[in-house]
Structure 1
Amino acid sequence: MPRQRTIRARPESAPPAALRLAREAAGPGLRRIHGLHALRTATVLAGAVALARLTGALIETGERDGLALGLVLGLALTCALAGAGLGAAIEGRSAVLEAEVGVRLIDAAQARLASMPARAAGELPRGALIAGLQRHPGALARLVVGHAAARRMMALGPVLTAATLALVSWQAALALLLATPVMIVFFALVGGMIRERAVAQEAALGRLATQFADRVRALPTILAAHGLAHETEKLDRRLAAYAEGTMGVLAVAFLNAGVLDFFASLTIAILAVFLGLGHLGLAEIPGFAGLALWQSLLILLLAPEFFAPFRRYAELYHAKAEGEAAADALAWAFAQETTAGTSAAAPSLAEPGVRGLVLPHAGPVPDFDLPRTGLVALTGPSGAGKSTLLRVFAGVEAPLAGAVLLPAEGPRTWVSLDTPIPAGTLRHALVDGSVATPEAAARAAAALGLADDPHWPGGLDAPVRAGAENLSGGQRVRVAVARLLLRPGIAFCDEPTAKLDPGNAARVRQALRAASRDRLVVVATHDPALAAFADRRVRLGAALPERQAA
């Protein structure tokens, strides 16, 4: 089936797709973690009741025997072991789920990179990209797993604890509930501060990683210019800025935890004083006087449990800011290509060709048809968009608008000065990735003058070093054209004769002409001799394409 590409307008504002994807990936597993948290809380509450009854009975009556005490002791131990086991299961499952979410995000980012237009991918800062893919998925996973579970338990845990306390003293439960708004207000106050510092921290990391990657690439030039000390000083400043941002986030997180511990300790101390006064008969405080010893012990045992979810949330509060900053930093990987109701209409093509195409940096392209076989030459002055249009055909560049319909699906072959060539021998470079026979490879090498190249002796056994560093630009192009002859499908060639002497340029023209007899070959060229060979010529910048009969 022919392949048609349509380009749609991007929405001006889109929801955080990275955060949405992370939440979708974490959803089922997170519900199980919430269930385990609720079960653990219920187990801890039951254990606290059993322990308070046991301790109260031992202190008040001094009895150490009896079936009832044995049952209570067994229940307390069982609840303690079950709570510990559930806690370990929660931590283990949370770690596994965070890893799964992180892998899902990395896979999605890699898929986005693979489908991204070459120019757009090349414009991404390499250092920040690499550092971000190592850091941001994990931060986002902690937000949607660890922080989300802590937030849910901050709502559920204290309610269950207060409900249990209300069975003994609703006044004590009310006293704990009254301390809750203070902590929530403080969470809201620190939220903006820690968010700003987390964003600054991520920005500092991106600048540091980008500068480091750029300086590694330019290291030979830096050494030649004796600029190593200067560049080291600049990197040190970037590193210090990142360290300062990290310490800023941690400082706010520690402040948050410290204030929470202060209010929790103060509340528990007040409860202990009220209970002590009631037991000593020094004050008749409603809800705190006339209680049995086990009831007072239960209040003191459950008061720290009431504040435990808040403490856990405070420990992970910085994860919220870091995760949201990571979601913003990953926006490039999860940008929405289309959104319902915002798409721009694109022409529908009944025949292979180009309609209404607008290229980045080059502007509109005249409409033209594409034959199923033959040689099509894209001509025009430098900067007219020939190479960009060729990349659009090949699927590695995206136009701003318009539609392209290629004659057929199937493999594509790209020919240019930077065509990758594997290390090994010429024979290996020609047949790599194809089913060509040794005889076909020998014919292709001979047709391009590679079998007896005096500057590259050895014939099909001529060596190819890593990165093809021992080949000239012209030799690279001729190897790429020879590989084209051994592969089926549409071929796209960017200036295939630009670096060749007249003899080798003539060989390339003849090879492309021969290949176009049973497939479509599209070339971007300034070579008038190659354009004269073309069955169809499209001059960019002109109102209409030039056509030439075969």
Structure 2
Amino acid sequence: MTQIKAALAAPAAQGGMTRRSLRARSGRAALEHRPERWLPAFGKRRCKNKSLEHRPGSDLRDDALEPAALALARGAARAGLSRLHALQALRCAATLGLAVALARLAGALIETGQLDGIALGLAGACLLAGAGLGSLIEAHSAALEAKVAVALVDAAEARLAAMPARAAADLPRGAVIAGLQRHPGALARLVVSHAAARRMMALGPVLTAGAVAPVSWQAAVALLLATPVMIVFFALVGGLIRDRAALQEAALGRLATQFADRVRVLPTILAAHGLPRETAKLDRRLKTYADGTMGVLAVAFLNAGVLDFFASLAIAILAVFLGLGHLGLAEIPGFAHLALWQSLLILLLAPEYFLPFRRYAELYHAKAEGEAAAEALAWVFSEEAETRPERGAVPAVPGARGLVLPYAGPVADFDLPETGLVAVTGPSGAGKSTLLRVLAGIEAPLAGAFRLPAQGVAASWVSLDTPIPAGTLGAAIADGAPATPEAVAAAAATLGLSEDPHWPGGLDAPVRAGAENLSGGQRVRVAVARLLLRPGTAFCDEPTAKLDPANAARVRQALASAARTRLVLVATHDPALAAMADRRIALRPTHCERQAA
């Protein structure tokens, strides 16, 4: 989840790039780039009946156009669900056996005053088996839900890693972060707990009625006749719960986005003395959301309460019929002339008949929340999230052909060397940083294609906002690279980090959370030191900005040294760094800037 938050928190304008996204873009796949390379490959999975289209808020059925998030969740749960269903069937059988044993035991005790040893032993065995199976079911269900939730989070992380930075920045960050904390779990409950309850609602009553039928088929039929009432009520109440749950999920997304926006502009709010006003606004919206949540729960409780009423009514009717038969006051077929243990068995099994319906009713709100979560996770698998750019032919040699940058326009074709220092120059706003992000695979061009040298290892990214983890200077430079302590020390010395008077402690100098104790220049020098430990292509956005002359000279020499063995691309305004370059890519002002001039 930390990687998700970091990806969402890095604005596209800053060109932030995580290690995971760089590694995902490394290797051969990143060398031959077409614009559609990073477009989402996910979508909705069509099932057998393609004529049924899914609509938001409609029932998510197996034969409909199934949301891909739901398809992924069901696929992750499929193998585990078979075992869960088997355990549930065994527990149901143990419960039925316990009911038979208790009925025989109680009947014998009342009629003869003696204990039935066989019935007592059977009751104990069934009780222990049911308890053990219940524990297994709970543990297996929890583990399976966790597995499904992790699969959904992994899919979201992969989508964010493959998404261009500008598209990620356009997502409502608060809604996405809050949603990824709730939606995977809600969808997991839908495909595990709710699916298990639905299966038992179909299997449990049939097994229970089958156990009652040998004693009194009329009583079994009476129980079966109560089933349509349950189904009709589910149909009537289900739509109301589903619609309210969908509205609540949308309201939560808006609330999370509003909160994230206010955190982002908190300094402005404080400067304008607007904190009490904004706090009051959020309090009102939070109360509205809480009231809506209570409304959903009220409908869910009403659903369970009405089912309890019908179940109690059916059990009471059976008890009256059986009582009249035992008292000889009425000759009701199937309820008269029964042994005491048989009547007790019917009364014990009647609640078990309705128990799966009650369990399903308790989880009906989970169904509504899961369906809403499947819709809310559509951005992870959306095929329409980005416009497919014009396809371009991949160049035969490293370089770019027909490249059109977002907001900056077309770029003249250029070639790239296998190794060397390449400087991207031009006035502010010409698209230097954008070109660098496109070549690094962070953003997709509007048209054209490019090829990078085949170096086959992960790339490096250097910018003023390079993420630095908390820890020590040595750990920040190594950052997971397979480098020896001597190599880390040499890289730090090359950039003057181990002797920085403003950051004492050498390689053991502390790095606070969020690198809050580092300046922008120190961040850049740490990023360049990392670059020296990694042999892949390096992308450097203004690496000498905010540096004093001495440290700027160190960075220039480090980049020139690294460029002897790999390709180093730099976007820069530094004339001295540009003069050291083996090749330059000069960008012209954008069309809008030329008009303004």
Q: Shorter chain as normaliser: what TM range?
A: 0.7 to 0.9
Q: How far did 1:70 drift?
A: 2.0
Aligned to 1:368: 414
Aligned to 1:190: 237
Give the alignment's Cα RMSD to 1 decimal. 3.8
3-state SS of 1:521 partner: strand
> Does structure 1 conserve the Cα–Cα contact (< 8 Å) formed by 2:422 and 2:585?
yes
Aligned residues: 532
Aligned to 1:35: 86
Deviations 1:322-369 (A, max 9, x none): 12222222333445699xxx9996634543233454544445545433
Deviations 1:450-484 (A, max 9, x none): 8999x969897997864666665556545655654
- Does residue 48 of structure 1 match 2:99? yes
Aligned to 2:443: 397
Q: How far did 1:57 drift?
A: 3.8
Aligned to 2:345: 298
Specify which of 377, 389, 398 is matched with residue 352 of structure 1: 398
- Does residue 19 of structure 1 match 2:70? yes
Q: Distance in 2 between matches of 1:12 and 1:422?
A: 32
Specify which of 282, 291, 303 is matched with residue 244 of structure 1: 291
Aligned to 1:388: 434
- 1:212-251 equivalence runs, <5 A: 212-251=259-298
> Does structure 1 conserve the Cα–Cα contact (< 8 Å) formed by 2:210 and 2:220?
yes
Change (3 A) 1:278 1:401: farther
Moved more, 206-215 or 33-42: 206-215
Q: Distance in 2 between matches of 1:30 and 1:343?
A: 42
Larger Rg: 1
3-state SS of 2:215 partner: coil
Aligned to 2:49: none
Aligned to 1:547: none
- 1:419-430 equivalence runs, <5 A: 419-420=466-467
Q: How far did 1:206 drift?
A: 2.5
TM-score (norm 2): 0.77
Specify which of 530, 538, 541 is matched with residue 491 of structure 1: 538
**Percent of aligned positions that are identical:** 73
> Does structure 1 conserve the Cα–Cα contact (< 8 Å) formed by 2:175 and 2:254?
yes
3-state SS of 2:190 partner: helix
Moved more, 313-322 or 173-182: 173-182
3-state SS of 2:422 partner: strand
Opposite residue 329 of structure 1, the aligned amino acid is: A
- Does residue 332 of structure 1 match 2:382? no
Aligned to 1:546: none
- 1:499-518 equivalence runs, <5 A: 499=546, 512-518=559-565
3-state SS of 2:461 partner: strand
Q: Distance in 2 between matches of 1:425 and 1:282?
A: 88
3-state SS of 2:466 partner: coil
Aligned to 1:143: 190
- Does residue 5 of structure 1 match 2:33? yes
Aligned to 2:252: 205
TM-score (norm 1): 0.83
3-state SS of 2:442 partner: coil
Aligned to 1:548: none
Q: Distance in 2 between matches of 1:166 and 1:486?
A: 77
Change (3 A) 1:287 1:384: farther
Q: How far did 1:86 drift?
A: 1.9
- Does residue 177 of structure 1 match 2:254? no
Q: Distance in 1 between matches of 2:123 and 2:468?
A: 71
Q: How far did 1:34 drift?
A: 0.8
Opposite residue 538 of structure 2, the aligned amino acid is: A
3-state SS of 1:351 partner: coil
Opposite residue 204 of structure 1, the aligned amino acid is: A
Opposite residue 352 of structure 1, the aligned amino acid is: P
Q: How far did 1:504 drift?
A: 7.0
3-state SS of 1:522 partner: strand
- Does residue 524 of structure 1 match 2:571? yes
> Does structure 2 conserve the Cα–Cα contact (< 8 Å) formed by 1:136 and 1:327?
yes
- Does residue 152 of structure 1 match 2:199? yes
Specify which of 90, 97, 119 is matched with residue 137 of structure 2: 90
Q: Distance in 1 between matches of 2:256 and 2:274?
A: 19
Deviations 1:21-49 (A, max 9, x none): 22222222221111111111112222222
Deviations 1:420-453 (A, max 9, x none): 457899888767755564885487347xxx8999
> Does structure 2 conserve the Cα–Cα contact (< 8 Å) formed by 1:444 and 1:485?
no
Deviations 1:203-257 (A, max 9, x none): 2323333333343444444333322211221121121122112111111110110
Change (3 A) 1:399 1:173: farther
Q: Distance in 2 between matches of 1:38 and 1:457?
A: 66
Change (3 A) 1:169 1:402: farther
Q: Distance in 2 between matches of 1:425 and 1:54?
A: 71
- 1:84-123 equivalence runs, <5 A: 84-123=131-170
Moved more, 173-182 or 383-392: 383-392
Unaligned runs of 5+ in 1: 544-550
Moved more, 183-192 or 459-468: 459-468
Unaligned runs of 5+ in 2: 1-26, 46-66, 591-597
